[in-house]
Amino acid sequence: MEKVVLKAERRDVLGKQVKALRRQGKLPAVVYGYQIQPIAITMDAREASRLLAGVTSSQLIEINVEGDQHTALVREKQRNPILGTLLHVDFLAVSMTEKLRANVVIVLEGEAPAVKELDGVIVTRIEELEVECLPGDLPERITIDLSSLVAIGDAIHVRDIRLPSTVQVLTDLDEMVVLVTAQEVEEVEEVEEAEEEPVVIEKGKKEEEEF
């Protein structure tokens, strides 16, 4: 995948005043982490949103802050809850020679025979794996092929995922990733309609009157 490079400028505007920056088309962010003091920055909101749209939490990016290069991961994206637009981004600067821990997104690929032939349903149990490795060995995503799921009840566990020896998986190896289950069948109770019979209301004299 093509390397993502973001151009940024240092900013002095902090707190609630950053709203004015957003109105100017700027996206506030911060870079912190390995051997640096936190740096408050701004980026072009439209350009940054476009470049960050497909970036995973384990994908390395380059941030150019007025000529200074920082290799980083996206740690957090804050969005407008209504519009979905980016409001703020946290970047974690990393050292290429120091191991780190990160969550790698799981992507399901292919079609399970149990779904196609037996009308099964894929149930996803976990969507990320926690791993430890050098930044240069960090997978951007982990792709799982569903073609091995041929029967109802078949599953893929963390132990079934093959990764390079340079990547240590920290998630429990017995953790289930995906499972094929049967379709839920709604039990429909058939209620026989009773023949309607006329209801006779007898009106007669009571044997005893209660006072």
d(CA 186, CA 172): 35
**Residue 8 within any structural domain of the chain:** yes
Q: Which amino acid is at 159?
A: R
Q: Are 57 and 21 part of one and the same domain?
A: yes
Q: Which domain holds residue 130?
A: 100-181
Structurally, the chain folds into a number of domains equal to 2
**Residue 42 within any structural domain of the chain:** yes
Last residue of a domain, one of 93, 108, 130: 93
- Which of 126, 125, 117, 127 is closest to 149 using CA atoms? 117
pLDDT in tens, the chain (211 residues): 568 999 999 998 777 778 888 999 999 999 999 888 999 999 999 999 999 998 999 999 999 999 899 999 999 999 999 998 999 999 999 999 999 999 999 999 999 999 999 999 999 999 999 999 999 999 999 999 999 999 999 999 999 999 999 999 999 999 999 999 998 765 444 444 445 555 444 444 444 433 3
Six-digit token string for 18: 């950053």
**Residue 194 within any structural domain of the chain:** no
d(CA 178, CA 173): 13
pTM: 0.77
